[in-house]
Structure formats: C-alpha cells, structure tokens
Amino acid sequence: MRVVAAVVGALLVLLAWRSVIRTLVVPRRRRDRVTLLADRAVDKAYRLATSRVRDYATRDERLASQAAAMILCLLAMWLVLLFAGFGLLLLPFHDLTLRQAFAQAGSSMFTLGYAGPDGAPLTAIDYLAAASGLVVVALQIGYLPSLYAAFNRRETEVTLLSSRAGTPAWGPEILARTRFGFGVEEDGAVMDEFYLQWERWAADLSESHTNYPVLTRFRSPTKLGSWLVALVAVLDSAALWMALAPTSAPVVQARLCLRMGFLAMRSIAESLGLDVDHDPHPDTELALSYDDYLVGVARISSTSFRMERTPEEAWPDFRGWRVNYEAVAYALMYRLDAVPSPWTGPRSNRDAMIEPIRPQNRMPTPYRPHRR
C-alpha cells in the first residue's frame, strides 16, 4: 500500500507540474484540466454570490475580484497537489506514518525546516519538494506583470472607443458618432486606420487571452465598460457599413477586422471550454431580431450617414457577417456576465438592456472644414 501511495503521489506531482508548465511557461493555447477546474469552481462560487443581485453596477463591483480569486485558487490547487503528492511519495521511506510524511512534505515545500530529512532518499525528495514550492510561487509572481501588461494594452483601446461607440459600446453608435466629428473625405482615412488598429488589437487579444484565460475575468475599470462588448460593437459597425453602403465602406480593412475579431472570440471561447461552431451557415437565423436591427439602422440614418441600400436590402449581408460571431459572442457574454448593452444577448440575471449614455445638453457640432 505504501508503494501504491508513492506511485499516486508521483502522479499528483507530475499533474501539478504539467499544469504549471502549460499555464505559465508554454506560450500556447491548451485546455488544462486543473486550470479549467479552478475557473469553473470560482465562477460557480461567484455566480452563487451574485445570483440574487439585480443591480448590474453592484454585481459588477463584486465580480471585479473574480480574476484575483481565480489566480489565488489556481495557486492553492497547485500547492495542494504538490503537498499531497510529496507527502504520499515519502511514505515508503523509513516507515514514516502518514502524519509524519505530510509534516515532512510541508516543512520542505514551505521551507519551514522543522522536520529534517533522515537519509539520502528523504533528502532528495525534500529538496525536490522545497524547489517545487519555491519555483511555483516564483512563477506565479512573475506571471502577474505579463497579465497586467496585456490588461493595460486591452483597456487602452476600449477606453479610446468610448468616444466613438458610447458607454456601453454599440455598433450603430460608432457609425452615427463618426459622422459628427469628420467630413466625408477625412472619415474614410480615419476609419481605415480604425479597423486596421482593431484587427491588430483582436490579434493581440487572441494571443494573450487564450494563453492566459484568466485575463477574460479581468473586468474593465469602468462599470459600463467591457472588452467583449467593445469588440462586438466594432464588428457590428464593420458589418453594418459594408451592408448599408458597400461602395463607401473601407471594405478590405473592415473584412480583415471582422475575420480577426471572430477568430479571436472563437479561440477564447474554446480556451474556456465553450462549444464553438467554426463554420456557421450564412443563412442561419440570428438571435438579434429584425426589429432591433431596424432600431440600429434608424440611429445611423439619424446622422449624415449615406445609405446606399434600404434596411431590407442590407439585412441578408449583415446577417451573413454577424452569424460568424453572434453565437460565440453571446455565449461569452453570458459566461463573463458582461454589461448588458444592445445587441449582446441575454444575461443570467435577465438584466435590462443599458443604452449608450448620450449627454442631452452637449451634442457635438458637425464637422466644418477650415477655409483660408
């Protein structure tokens, strides 16, 4: 039985180290079981704690600590696995009792030194246990700057979007607000760069949030901000522009942004264990209703946006683009409990939709080119 316990202990140690290496060291998306278990456990605990909170602002305040809880839970799971593994691994040596074996493992892992080794085998295992505890904690500490660097890059663009898309962000609002600030000639160049920038942002998001899934739990500093809502708003604006005014739209840049955006969402969803359809049919019905679509088009047409097609003519093209990301976006919104903005699907608490905030007394003036 002691030999069997030692084998089980060795497997636990290997499992812990496998999870640490795949999560913190190897820069590649992997569905590590320990990480997924920690994520689901913390997510379930927070859902239970916020299930009866109907006010989104209050719930968002409580969910702000979820990412930190996830990091601490993951560290605790690794240390427990290592502690249990080394404790069982020490059992066959010098006829140690279970209590003595775990005391020896704990003394070594946390470098307390109150239970010294007696013999070469115990010394070797104790050294491995001490190195394991020290290295895992050091790796976790070194992991934090990378997380916050990725978080800052993400939130910079989300903050910049607030003046274009409102707070919370909404796709039609981007096309409507852009018309206030720029003239016809200037608008094209500005939006070309805008979509290219968000294509690169989505690529960075895909790389960072799939390698470090805990980043998805880092909420925006503002209560009505969300990286996911912002991404959907940008993709919706690109799809709407190409559907409503295909000749004036920055087609190449918008297409590149759309494709990188929905590929990023699919990759992130898979890293969280969600089911993803990688080839949805273009004629699939949208969860977004046609009436809600007309509300967005009305917001766009209330400005100087020049529509080349009627809403009815543009609907099939818009649907063909949105079907690539709507289902996965809604699944992520539901899982992450993002701000309930327009066109982002239902939430677990059935929150009322929050419209973008528009100051009534400070409407922007239309662009007028300077003349000498």
pLDDT per residue as tens, the chain (372 positions): 778 888 898 999 999 999 999 888 887 766 678 888 888 899 999 989 988 888 888 888 999 999 999 999 999 999 999 999 988 888 877 677 788 878 888 888 887 655 555 666 777 888 888 888 889 999 989 889 989 999 999 999 999 998 888 889 999 999 988 764 444 444 556 788 899 999 999 999 999 999 888 999 999 988 889 999 999 999 999 999 999 999 988 999 999 999 999 999 999 999 888 899 999 998 889 999 999 999 999 999 888 888 899 999 999 999 999 999 999 999 999 999 999 999 999 887 777 788 887 766 555 454 444 444
pLDDT at 361: 56
Q: Does 343 reside within a domain?
A: no
Same domain for 62 and 85, yes or no, is yes
Picking from 141, 175, 199, the residue at the C-terminal end of a domain is 141
Which stretches does DSSP call E strand in the chain? none
Query: In which residue are the tokens 């999870």 written?
Result: 19
Mention every residue, 6+ apart, whose C-beta is less than 8 A from residue 210.
Answer: 29, 267, 268, 270, 271
Two structure tokens written together for 26: 């190897």
The single residue listed with the structure tokens 């997510």 is 43
Tell me what pLDDT residue 188 has. 54
Q: Are residues 152 and 117 in the same domain?
A: no
Residue 118 confidence (pLDDT): 63
Name the domain boundary from 141, 157, 172: 141
In a domain, 356, yes or no: no
**Residue 100 burial class via C-beta count within 10 angstroms: exposed 0-12, middle 13-18, buried 19 and up:** middle
- Residue ending a domain, among 141, 162, 185, is 141
Q: Among all chains, which residue has been given the structure tokens 């569905």? A: 31
Total structural domains within the chain: 2
Q: Do 189 and 137 fall within a single domain?
A: no
Residue ranges making up the domain that contains 296: 148-336
d(CA 163, CA 166): 6
**Which pLDDT score, from 0 to 100, does residue 320 have?**
94
Q: Which candidate, 265, 284, 275, places its Cα nearest to that of 333?
A: 265
The answer to whether position 118 is within a domain reads: yes
Reference 226, options 53, 60, 58, 347; nearest CA is 60
Classify residue 83: in a domain, yes or no: yes
* Residues 65, 183 within the same domain: no
Cα separation, 144 vs 133, whole angstroms? 17
206 and 245 assigned to the same domain: yes
The confidence score (pLDDT) of residue 82 equals 93
Per-residue pLDDT, 370:
42
